[in-house]
Structure formats: C-alpha cells, structure tokens
Amino acid sequence: MSASSVLRAHDLYRFYHAGEEETLALRGVSLEVHAGEVVAIAGPSGSGKSTLLACLAGLDEPDGGNVTVAGARMTRRPESVRAELRARHIGILMQSENLLMNLSVADNIRLQLALAGVTDSSAVHSALQRAEIGHRAGAKAGQLSGGEMARAALAIALSTNPPLLLADEPTGEVDEETESKLLRVLDDRRKSGGATIIATHSEALMRWADRNIKLLDGRVIE
C-alpha cells in the first residue's frame, strides 16, 4: 500500500446462500483509495455496491480477499478489533438509521466521539457547524426534516475527522439545496486530505467525484 493510500481492498469475494441458491455478491473486487480522493461506486441495484461498502467497513466479512484501512488489516479480525478500527479510522454514512432515535443530534455526536476516544470538548460544536445543523443540536431524529436528518448524519460520520468516509447513497433522498450543502462539506473534506468512497446512482455525484468505479454483478467493469 502506497504512502498516501488510505484504503486498499484486494480480490474481495462475497457469497450468500439461501437453501440451494447461491448469490455471488462480489467477485474479485480490488481498489485502492488515496488521501484527498473521492471515489464513486456506480452500478445498478443488486450490483454489489452496498455489500462492498459493508466489507470495506468491516461490517461484513468477505469470503475471500482482504481489506486494509489506514495501514491496519480489517478482515479476519475479531469484531471488537474491527469495531475499534471503524471508530478510529472510518466515518459511515448509511441511507438510513444513522441516528439513535432516543438521543439528540448533539448526543449522537458525543457518543460517536466517545467510541473513538475523542475527548476534545469543542468537537461536538465543530461537527454541528461543519454540517450546518447547529440550530437543531437538541432535536431528536423524529423531529428532523429529511434534509436535516441527512446533515445530522453527516455531522456524526465526520465528527472524528476520520481518514476514510464510506457513504451509501448520501444524496439519494434529499432535495437540491441539501445535496449542494452535503457536497460542499465533502469538497472541504477532499481539500483537507480526507478520502471518501460513495455508492451512488447520481450522475451529478459521479461527475463530481475524482474517479468512478462501476460494478455489474459483483465485478468491476471498465
């Protein structure tokens, strides 16, 4: 892995079984992402995008291949080790369920910081301001609009300033104004050296990214 490499995935395979049926979700996928780079993962529904993100995050274990994040091997490690690596090195932005419903936006951020061992008292304020959601710091998930929910989720994912952000369709269910705000935050992150991998169907997002990787039936295609 080169000096500026934040993530390296080598020859990932993932199979799912339901009775006698076998689904080949990933078939030998490899990629390397560097500091300050935004990579868009494109492909039709069922092509393996979400499975790939889950394997990169250590939320799912590939059946073959390996993943290294910030110089540390993620695959075939105990879940406690993977959880620690995620907390320290990876921000995760899913399509939904990014916030604990019974906690305020600010308390969700505090929890994420605690998991990563961050004790800087100003980090909550910084995360809220970065995502332009400070005015809703005390609100719970059920009190937020769709756009506010998206910005709150981004604030949580980036609160620890992780070297790698994994985002699954971050602009899929938001309006143009919210999309512009999210992209502005992600662009600032790119300029400061953060790496980002985004699974998306958005043509605009693919044009905005530094590089596109296209999946079809679990394989990278040209």
Give residue-wise pLDDT tens across range 106-159.
Answer: 999 999 999 888 888 899 999 999 998 999 999 998 899 888 998 999 999 999
Domain boundary assignment for the chain: 5-97+161-221
More confident residue, 145 or 9: 9
Q: What is the mean pLDDT of the chain?
A: 91
Per-residue confidence (pLDDT) for residue 2, from 0 to 100: 56
Q: Token pair for residue 59?
A: 């939320």
The pLDDT confidence band at residue 96, using thresholds 50, 70 and 90, is confident
Per-residue confidence (pLDDT) for residue 3, from 0 to 100: 54
Do 201 and 212 touch, CB atoms closer than 8 A? Answer: no
| Crossing angle of helices 146-157 and 105-115, rounded to 10° | 20
| Neighbouring-strand partners of residue 199 | 41, 168
| For residue 95, pLDDT beyond 80 | no
The pLDDT confidence band at residue 215, using thresholds 50, 70 and 90, is very high
State what percent of residues in the chain have pLDDT above 70.
Answer: 98
The pLDDT confidence band at residue 91, using thresholds 50, 70 and 90, is very high
Per-residue confidence (pLDDT) for residue 15, from 0 to 100: 93
More confident residue, 103 or 121: 103
Q: What is the mean pLDDT of residues 39-47?
A: 93
Per-residue confidence (pLDDT) for residue 54, from 0 to 100: 95
Q: Which residue has the tokens 């609160």?
A: 159
What CATH number matches the domain at 5-97+161-221, 3.40.50.300, 3.40.50.720, 3.40.190.80, 3.50.50.60?
A: 3.40.50.300
Per-residue confidence (pLDDT) for residue 141, from 0 to 100: 87
Q: What backbone phi and psi angles, to 5 degrees, belong to 36?
A: 80, 10
Q: How many residues does the chain have?
A: 222
Q: What is the mean pLDDT of residues 156-168?
A: 94
The pLDDT confidence band at residue 4, using thresholds 50, 70 and 90, is confident
| For residue 20, pLDDT beyond 90 | no
Per-residue confidence (pLDDT) for residue 152, from 0 to 100: 93
| For residue 203, pLDDT beyond 70 | yes
Helix (H) or strand (E) holding 34: strand 21-34
| Helix, strand, coil % over all residues of the chain, rounded to 5 | 35, 30, 35
| For residue 1, pLDDT beyond 80 | no
